[in-house]
Amino acid sequence: MFSLPIIALLVAGAQAAVLTLQSPRFTVSSSTGSQLRSEPISLAHASSIPVTLTKDDVLKLTFQVIDKESGKGVQPHQTFLRFYDQNSGEEGIQPIRVTNGGKAKFELNMARPPLSLPPTSDAPLQVSLLIGSSTYSPLALSLFDLIVPASHPVPAHPDEASFHPLPEIHHTFRPEQKLPPRPISALACIAVLAPWIVLLGLWGQVAPRAVHLFSPGIFPFILTLGAFESLLVWYWVDLKLGQVLSYGGVLALVTIFTGKQALSKIGDRRVGRK
Amino acid sequence: MAPKSSPPAASNVVHSLWKAYSDQTSDRMKFIDAFLVFLMLSGVAQFLYCVLVTDYPFNAFLAGFSSNVGQFVLTASLRSQVNPENKNEFKEVSPERAFADFALGSIVLHFFVYNFLG
């Protein structure tokens, strides 16, 4: 079904009919309407004098697209004006409306420059015409160089400040705490240990005589209490929490037994003595 | 009451208080009191070190000081419970029961203290 148009296209492409422009011409006029410059455009070689536009000037471009062989006006499918800045590599594409008869008119008013005009740099814009048609071979014509007034600087986007790397974050930590000098540590150690001398001195005077301390009923209790304290020291030095809790649980059972025995014995002796 | 006679009177009072204490307190109570004095002095020494020099191994200070305070509390309660003069106040608490409480409380306290020592 659709193979027929495709074949037709291929045949047309094979013919490679050629388009050309008739009477291409540009006119520069000032805002008051007075004509400043009006020249035909040579298709063979681009104009050596660039076209200069000032702030309020209007550039008019007129041409007719024709079939080179028959000389009839042709409406191509695509017609573009390309503004290319060689320095910045920026380009702008401006579509141009072409009538059925192939006539086209383009107006560039610098008072209201089109969005397709690239931002200016040092180099003039190279203006070329690109014409594409399904039944003709494509056409690219470089027309002239164009010097336009400098574009405004790009306004800063309101969020522009957010798109820069932030200054590097430096964390400040509290300085490492230090131990005091050794003499002070030694003095403090003596001061903290001095109460032991007081304790031992006082106990030496007032210690009650513990006559039954080593009796078989009481000594196991003292022993298990001592074992508890050693277990806790061992915990400090080496053991893990779980080990301490399990060993302590076993030791607690023994201690409850020995403690009950020892304390009931002491209680009996106290009550019996009374 | 005159200010001139107050220093001798004050020393007199302290002297008679000390004399009454040493005469009327049993050796067992004195034994416990000596331990209480030791705990107090040791706590004061550690606290002064923390304030005046450094609290650097703060966990060690906490462990040492809290062990003193906790042991003082436990010993003071042991003393009040085993004191024969307080018999009427702790009728159902025998001295043996008080000592068992003291031993249990001390073991739990020491467990926490060694935890803090780190």
In a domain, residue B97? The reply is yes
Q: What is the torsional sign of CA A107, A113, A118, A120? A: positive
- B100 at the A interface (CB within 8 A)? yes
What is the distance in angstroms between the Cα of B38 and the nearest Cα belonging to chain A?
Answer: 5
What is the distance in angstroms between the Cα of A214 and the nearest Cα belonging to chain B?
Answer: 17
Cβ within 8 Å, pair A270-B95:
yes
In a domain, residue B1? The reply is no
In a domain, residue B107? The reply is yes
In a domain, residue B65? The reply is yes
Residue of A191, A248, A259 with shortest CB distance to B45: A191
Predicted local confidence at residue B57, as pLDDT: 85
Which chain A residue is nearest to residue B100, measuring alpha carbons?
A: A259
In a domain, residue B7? The reply is no
In a domain, residue B110? The reply is yes
In the block, residue with structure tokens 């191509």? A76
Cβ within 8 Å, pair A235-B96:
no
Structural domain of B43: 27-117
Averaged confidence pLDDT in chain B: 88
In a domain, residue B71? The reply is yes
* Strands A58-67 and A103-109, bridge-based pairing: antiparallel
Cα–Cα distance measured from residue B50 to residue A72, given in angstroms and rounded to the nearest whole number:
106
| Residue A1 confidence (pLDDT) above 50 | no
Residues of B in contact with A194 (CB under 8 A): 41, 45
> Which is more confidently placed, B25 or A49?
B25
Cβ within 8 Å, pair B111-A232:
yes
Per-residue pLDDT reduced to its tens digit, B48-61:
999 998 888 889 99
| Residue A32 confidence (pLDDT) above 90 | no
In chain B, the number of structural domains is: 1
> Which is more confidently placed, A182 or A209?
A182
